[in-house]
Amino acid sequence: MQVSLATKFGIPAGALGGRNTTFYFASKFLRRTFSPSYGGEYGLRDFSTETAIRSVEQSLRRLRTDYLDCLFFHEPRGLADLPAVLETVEAMERLKRDGKVLRFGVSASTDYFLACGGGSMVGDMVQFEVADTSPALVDQVAKGKRTSAFGLLRFLIGHGEGPPRGGRFDYRRVLEWFFGRYPATMPILASNRPEEIARLGRAVRDLPAGLAMGSGCPHQAPTIPFRARRLPSQRNGPDAPLAQSR
């Protein structure tokens, strides 16, 4: 198994809670439940050169490694953030030359990339949130740049693909559907549940031989225990479900 280390920077950590993990998740739950302004802290961005370098040095120290596989600008919001991103590109290139970062790019919504144009796709990677317009975005990515995508399960659920209570995703069908639409893009999903990570690993292992897997990028083992039926555009046949009941 190959493991890649990727980090993001740009949203001030202080706005997201304390460094203590238990406190962070507890405070996040309380803010989400009781605060009408929850999410407002994500309106803060800092893509300065100083922040990029400090973020990398802190990540290297905390992860006890000499380099990061990927470094991303964390969700610039639109044209207003683009100048700050462009001003920091040279610092990112220096980090690559110094061997501290192997690749860098922007992680943002599909709408951000489409609104800002090709100039927003800096670096080596484009990481986008799956949306109806994502195929149009992928068509615009320059040859040689790697692509990865997040928000896949949220996209399916948002399209009314909610299964019966207690159901769960059939990850193999989900990945087959994804690679049918994005054959050269790496899907990113996540879970802190070992059993879900194991299920995803089995799904990846059972994928048909020769199926493209993310432009040669190492796979990130996903898993979130949601459920879905199928999308009308499912390419594995109209009766191939994306979810199963327990």
Q: How far is CA 164 from CA 100, 149, 160, 167, 168, in A?
A: 46, 26, 12, 6, 9
Q: Per-domain residue ranges for the chain? A: 1-149, 151-246
Q: At a CB cut-off of 8 Å and minimum separation 6, what does 141 contact?
A: 121, 126, 147
Superfamily of domain 1-149: NADP-dependent oxidoreductase domain (3.20.20.100)
pTM of the entire structure? 0.76
pLDDT at 163: 60
pLDDT tens digits for range 113-168: 999 999 999 999 999 999 999 999 999 999 999 999 999 989 988 887 756 677 78
Q: At a CB cut-off of 8 Å and minimum separation 6, what does 125 contact?
A: 70, 72, 103, 104, 105, 106, 145, 146, 147, 148
Question: Token digits for 91?
Answer: 């610092």
Give me the tens of pLDDT residue by residue for the chain, a chain 246 residues long: 566 789 999 988 655 444 454 444 455 555 555 544 444 456 789 999 999 999 999 999 999 999 999 999 999 988 999 999 999 999 999 999 999 999 999 999 999 999 999 999 999 999 999 999 999 999 999 999 999 999 998 998 888 775 667 778 888 888 988 999 999 999 988 777 888 888 888 888 888 866 644 433 333 333 333 333 333 343 334 344 444 434
